[in-house]
Structure 1
Amino acid sequence: MGYYINVEPGVNVYVEDINPTGGKTIFFLHGWPANHKMFEYQFNQLPQLGYRCIGMDMRGFGNSDKPWTGYSYDRLADDVRSVVEALKLQNITLGGHSTGGAVAIRYMARHKGYGVAKLALFAAAAPSLIKRPYFPYGLDKEVVLSIIRGTYDDRPKMLREFGDMFFFQYVTQPFAEWFFQLGLQAAGWSTAAVANTWLGEEGLFSDLGRINVPTLIMHGIHDQVVPFPLAEVQKEGIKNSILIPFEYSGHGLFYDEKDKFNRELALFVG
């Protein structure tokens, strides 16, 4: 079941609600530059176990509206709050991949975990995707600047190169093409705007300590996009958290080891 939810005047986001009459709810936030369809292999399996799965396309991506502005972590977290309120969600597990994980963390801090009973982070881009003078982990700033330049100069080429480093396990050419098309569904300006948000000074350092629900951290040890040490920093900063390394995964652990991913997530949700 798919529908649009208004998050601010003139801006609607697309939400897919799978097994809406199911039991416990898992709300998935996708990573950059894809959309909710990246969780296809979770949506195929978890509803069979009785879960209700909700996938939201963040503004600027997938089927959602693509306004010129509104790509800060604060605004994206506020969009999530609008969906939680519109669907009257309670006691959910909020799960986020990569940038979606960063938005989930900001949501927990900014909205005091409204409606959320548990948090699940999948290769989350937090507390900072880039290295900083006081933070030696993450990507070099120049890598992100190159992504932004590539978005403006030749977005398909940039997306193709990003896809080539996304997975650790072998993926077929048809699968790689499908994943590539997910990125093309975004607007170029929103693709660049979110990348600019990674460079912002806000970061998520103070947010980690404000999370007070059980938290599952899953992260591929071969991740070339969000290096594994960031998961260890998350584990140190979030009370009542557990870290599960994925030994045969890169950034796309939801597909590289999809059976383990689905199993561990289901065990955590309960």
Structure 2
Amino acid sequence: MGTYIEVEPNVRLYVEDLGQGHPVVFLHGWPASQRMFETQSVLLPKNGYRYIGIDFRGFGKSDSPWESYDYDRMADDVKAVVDKLGLSSFTLLGFSMGGAIAVRYMSRHRQHGVERLVLAGAAAPRFTQSESFPYGTPPEKVDEMIDDTYRDRPAMISDFGAKFTLKKPSPSFEAYMSMLCLEATAHGTIRAMESLRDEDLRHDLSNISVPTSIFQGVKDEICPFELAEETKARIHGSTMIRFEESGHAMLYDEPALFNESLLDLLRAGSGAAAAGRVL
């Protein structure tokens, strides 16, 4: 069921909470919403797990204040949801920008309540290149996307979507994803992209000590494979699952592998009683 949780005065986040069992908190990518995990919202409850999807501020059904889209504030929003729901031992899965927020949450809030971390195509350690970090997107390209958002946001989303998956999606899927992305507000889309451009997580990663799995599309053009390698090197004991035939969104390019890998991790980590997986 869906609910709204106040994370600061006059700012509420929409949270989808389905099923029972070990909780798995999903953090979506830019500029979508928790509805991008639609398949997992059905799959996990069928297999005895609790799906919790959060719409970040400015995205999906959540409120969209004018300010405060930095990683610290968005990580604080996640903690407010975790505390309101009384979660004490859960799996945290962050995709793309959601992966970046998950990393900041782990560092800023001392891994509060997290039993296992899954980073999928995460925008970490940095989304953009810098003088000391040669990987990722040139910051000028992000500036161009911000300009395109002012000029023609639907066209910007369409252009971004062309790099989202390796496989050519159906027109219906393209329309669905565009719809999800256009549910975000224009200023939320821009402010979050500014944070993606400017934030740096290199010092956060070493603070992560829970079991961490990195899901990465080998042919990712948005958060290239080098980012995952750098992230893995900075999180002690982390493991990587390579999606050889995937671009950025491995959950759409190789859905069976994504879902099987996630369920395997959950079964290994939570001691679920279910006898088998239902796919």
AA at the equivalent of 2:191:
A
For residue 61 of structure 1, report the CA deviation from its aligned partner: 0.2
Instruction: Supply the distance in 2 between the matched residues of 1:41 and 1:255 (Cα, whole angstroms).
Output: 10
Name whichever of 138-147 and 57-66 sits farther off: 138-147
Conserved? CA contact 1:71–1:193, under 8 Å: yes
1:12 aligns with 2:12: yes
Following superposition of structure 1 onto structure 2, how do residues 66-145 of structure 1 map, counting pairs within 5 Å?
66-145=64-143
For residue 24 of structure 1, report the CA deviation from its aligned partner: 1.1
Conserved? CA contact 1:167–1:251, under 8 Å: yes
Deviations 1:125-161 (A, max 9, x none): 0010111111111011121111110111110000011
1:245 equivalent among 242, 245, 252: 242
For residue 267 of structure 1, report the CA deviation from its aligned partner: 1.1
For residue 123 of structure 1, report the CA deviation from its aligned partner: 0.2
Uncovered stretches (5+) of structure 2, i.e. residues with no partner: 268-279
Which residue of 2 is the match for residue 34 of structure 1?
32
SS at match of 2:203: helix
AA at the equivalent of 1:18:
L
1:195 aligns with 2:193: yes
SS at match of 1:254: helix
Instruction: Supply the distance in 2 between the matched residues of 1:255 and 1:134 (Cα, whole angstroms).
Output: 33
Conserved? CA contact 1:95–1:101, under 8 Å: yes
SS at match of 1:118: strand
Conserved? CA contact 1:151–1:158, under 8 Å: yes
TM-score by length of 1: 0.97
Instruction: Supply the distance in 1 between the matched residues of 2:105 and 2:83 (Cα, whole angstroms).
Output: 13
Deviations 1:158-181 (A, max 9, x none): 001111110112311001100011
Instruction: Supply the distance in 1 between the matched residues of 2:265 and 2:234 (Cα, whole angstroms).
Output: 19
Conserved? CA contact 1:46–1:262, under 8 Å: no
Deviations 1:242-267 (A, max 9, x none): 01110111111111111110111111
SS at match of 2:204: helix
Aligned-pair identity in percent equals 47
Instruction: Supply the distance in 2 between the matched residues of 1:240 and 1:11 (Cα, whole angstroms).
Output: 37
Instruction: Supply the distance in 1 between the matched residues of 2:134 and 2:168 (Cα, whole angstroms).
Output: 30
Uncovered stretches (5+) of structure 1, i.e. residues with no partner: none
Which residue of 1 is the match for residue 215 of structure 2?
218
AA at the equivalent of 1:165:
K
For residue 199 of structure 1, report the CA deviation from its aligned partner: 2.2
Instruction: Supply the distance in 2 between the matched residues of 1:5 and 1:43 (Cα, whole angstroms).
Output: 19
Instruction: Supply the distance in 1 between the matched residues of 2:240 and 2:223 (Cα, whole angstroms).
Output: 15
For residue 44 of structure 1, report the CA deviation from its aligned partner: 2.4
SS at match of 2:16: strand
Which residue of 2 is the match for residue 262 of structure 1?
259
Following superposition of structure 1 onto structure 2, how do residues 34-73 of structure 1 map, counting pairs within 5 Å?
34-73=32-71
For residue 97 of structure 1, report the CA deviation from its aligned partner: 0.3
Instruction: Supply the distance in 2 between the matched residues of 1:180 and 1:5 (Cα, whole angstroms).
Output: 26
Instruction: Supply the distance in 1 between the matched residues of 2:251 and 2:45 (Cα, whole angstroms).
Output: 16
Instruction: Supply the distance in 2 between the matched residues of 1:82 and 1:45 (Cα, whole angstroms).
Output: 26
SS at match of 2:56: coil
AA at the equivalent of 1:204:
L
For residue 47 of structure 1, report the CA deviation from its aligned partner: 1.6
How many equivalent pairs are there?
Answer: 267
Instruction: Supply the distance in 2 between the matched residues of 1:207 and 1:233 (Cα, whole angstroms).
Output: 13
Runs of 4+ displaced beyond 3 Å = none
SS at match of 1:4: strand
SS at match of 2:60: coil
